[in-house]
Structure 1
């Protein structure tokens, strides 16, 4: 049976199911090269799914997210924050924007660009003379590249100034969340200079005039933004989210060690305001005042839920959603142990479906796609990433969200949500080996889909409104 997705008209059942779902992480503000927010908003308004949580990424995209929300306030949940790919636009150096006509961009980019990521504990140190020499050569190579491209490098802004603007936006939109923020050790730094406009001959035979053509240029490098720089900016954004009590959509690629270390630091500094969990000292103090707690489940998540139900005055903590997590089951479980009440994970077809088995997109007929393959064979046909399937299987059902992570035509978001919903439905079915999914009583495909959609809907509401 074919692995390809066949376009099919939306059924009433599909509409009812999808209307319960929120796309927890997407980028319709980037559609059409970010130049036609009104068109993107029109397509968002036609989606079957309930809502879309629209992520900001660059400094410029914050305003586009705001505009999209104003055009579709019933459909859009706005998210504001700086993506790790754009942290190079923020400087941590003293003297930035001090009023000088020429800010020393050179010092900023020399400070943040590296040829490879070193463990944060070893930054500035090396163990051998050979390693010292290699780092020196790397540094000189980077500095030469910076000098050659200095006139094209954008002027950074101070972190303090960015945080002031971010705070103002979050407060101006009280229904907004923090995102997309995080860490990324895979991406390489690039420059996107101002577009070049060329006068060129019109392609329309009836038009004898010249049509200006805009050329978007990208100058790629082989260098990276240091993980230490990314960490400082991420920490400040998370602390702002804690202060304003906003949920977070988190990006983390190839940096789980650094992220888990930061989580430990935030737990130590913010405690219950971050985790929603009382410390051992606070728990002992509470028990001495209220008497012994009732025996509960050994599952820390269930225990936390029980404590929350008994004490509604307890701090809720800040919900954190790791979006499209390409991580091992061990890292997922470590995260849940550190944040047993507030950690969520959202999965996308962009990550789960292997690149060599994706169906070609059909923009001319962007209706909902129903995967045409045997339910029992879905996990055996090499269509899906094994790592993604294992992560979905290991994710507690009450911590699971869905996303498209889609940044092109918004009309395709329904299709992408249906694809990942289909995979989760199979992985979490009672018939799936090792499933931690829904109970198997009176199992049928329709009832399972409905119950799963209701569960994911409840998960989003809990994530969005507080732990």
Structure 2
């Protein structure tokens, strides 16, 4: 075991998982993935051009890579929503960009932008990729109120739209046009519903729209809230179940559910496993990661507070933190993030690098993020790593 305040090889051996990263943005370092200290990388897809790269890394390094397929809100304006009434008609390029962009784009800008792709086609492709990889996630998806689209590079493809956080900070290459929140929401919700249909977790981006993001989830959850059984009701049900005649299902108490070898206990476990494998499509994802979560504590409480005393929201929500986005001391982030991290339950925390290149730099970012969480939660490093490991497993794989 590693010491409580330092990272050793045995600390890494416990299993540190990157919940959100983008090594496909710099494929020159992709070959370092097998030798990285991180146990696994949850690699995000963001646009048409990098989804094949995510696929290739998942196939090349199946023991190390968990793929995630989706369209980032920064690229949502390149998608035409043909899923609504009248959407099957031919796409009018000028009408599309005039509708989905704020302000009035010039003729020259519209001409230089690529022809938008149909949302129906994109969803078909995403479905195929997700079915190829049964444990793949949907992501990175979400909404961003602050994003401004970049000037095209006249290639006539989506390649011009490659965008990094630095572009927003220094204002380079950006127009004054933003993507309407209504359009972003349509693209976002379509992907959330696909995740719900296929029982996949999602990794979500949200900038300057924390309230709007929560409202989207709440709309999808409405009418699907889960009834919470009180402890008293649970005990009453279990006593009643024990007294039923043979042939009725027995629901064991926790103390009765150990590894006894009798056939009856084995049959109970078999039935429980069968129920786990049964899944009815839902209009919302089963598990959600709010990546590089930077919302205030008030927003955090919206996700953690049940809608009523006897109900809870049906999706399990995790909150991921990085040292590259959340906790950069030079940006004055630490004071803000400390309150938020303190408020996140220990079984809902994840760490990520959110880096665009694999290798030692990504490992270092993960180590830094773990140190931040361990420090704020007042935990030993190894203890923190174990907690984060189990949280990542539940986020990606669910109850299985």
Q: For the Cα contact (< 8 Å) 1:27–1:406, is it kept in 2?
A: yes
Q: 1:288 to 1:25 in 2, by over 3 A?
A: same
Q: 1:263 to 1:97 in 2, by over 3 A?
A: closer
- Please say if 1:452 is aligned against 2:372: no
- 2:340 corresponds, among 368, 391, 399, to 391
Q: For the Cα contact (< 8 Å) 1:96–1:158, is it kept in 2?
A: no
In the alignment, what sits opposite 2:39? 50
Q: For the Cα contact (< 8 Å) 1:327–1:387, is it kept in 2?
A: no
| CA deviation vs aligned residue, 1:170-212 (integer Å, no higher than 9, x gap) | 001112111100011011112433569xxxxxxxxxxxxxxxx
- Please say if 1:404 is aligned against 2:384: no
SS at match of 1:351: coil
CA shift, 1:290, in A, is 6.1
CA shift, 1:91, in A, is 0.8
Q: For the Cα contact (< 8 Å) 2:286–2:314, is it kept in 1?
A: no
Q: Hey, what's the Cα distance between the residues in 2 that align with 1:292 and 1:253?
A: 50
Q: 1:154 to 1:341 in 2, by over 3 A?
A: closer
Q: Hey, what's the Cα distance between the residues in 1 that align with 2:173 and 2:37?
A: 39
- Please say if 1:463 is aligned against 2:398: no
- Please say if 1:245 is aligned against 2:219: no
Q: How does 1:207-286 map to 2 (within 5 A)?
A: 219-268=173-222, 271=224, 277-278=226-227
Q: Hey, what's the Cα distance between the residues in 2 that align with 1:77 and 1:453?
A: 19
Q: 1:188 to 1:452 in 2, by over 3 A?
A: same
Q: Hey, what's the Cα distance between the residues in 2 that align with 1:58 and 1:355?
A: 31
In the alignment, what sits opposite 1:347? 321
Q: How does 1:115-130 map to 2 (within 5 A)?
A: none
- 1:18 corresponds, among 12, 17, 23, to 12
Q: For the Cα contact (< 8 Å) 2:221–2:314, is it kept in 1?
A: no
Q: Hey, what's the Cα distance between the residues in 2 that align with 1:105 and 1:322?
A: 33
Q: Hey, what's the Cα distance between the residues in 2 that align with 1:17 and 1:190?
A: 42
Q: How many residues align?
A: 340
CA shift, 1:462, in A, is 1.1
SS at match of 2:47: coil
In the alignment, what sits opposite 1:335? 303
- Could you state the TM-score of these two structures normalised by the residue count of structure 2? 0.76
SS at match of 2:106: helix
Q: For the Cα contact (< 8 Å) 1:80–1:180, is it kept in 2?
A: yes
CA shift, 1:451, in A, is 1.4
In the alignment, what sits opposite 1:182? 142
Q: How does 1:79-158 map to 2 (within 5 A)?
A: 79-92=68-81, 103-114=91-102, 142-143=103-104, 145-158=105-118
Q: Hey, what's the Cα distance between the residues in 1 that align with 2:40 and 2:182?
A: 35
Question: What is the CA RMSD across the aligned residues, in angstroms?
Answer: 3.4
Q: For the Cα contact (< 8 Å) 2:205–2:291, is it kept in 1?
A: yes
SS at match of 2:8: helix
Q: 1:243 to 1:284 in 2, by over 3 A?
A: farther
CA shift, 1:352, in A, is 3.1
Q: Hey, what's the Cα distance between the residues in 1 that align with 2:193 and 2:235?
A: 29
CA shift, 1:285, in A, is 11
Q: For the Cα contact (< 8 Å) 2:21–2:356, is it kept in 1?
A: yes
In the alignment, what sits opposite 2:310? none
Q: Hey, what's the Cα distance between the residues in 2 that align with 1:425 and 1:162?
A: 40
Structure 1, unaligned runs of 5 or more: 1-10, 32-36, 115-141, 197-215, 294-305, 358-381, 430-437, 439-447
CA shift, 1:418, in A, is 0.7
CA shift, 1:287, in A, is 9.7
Q: Hey, what's the Cα distance between the residues in 1 that align with 2:289 and 2:360?
A: 24
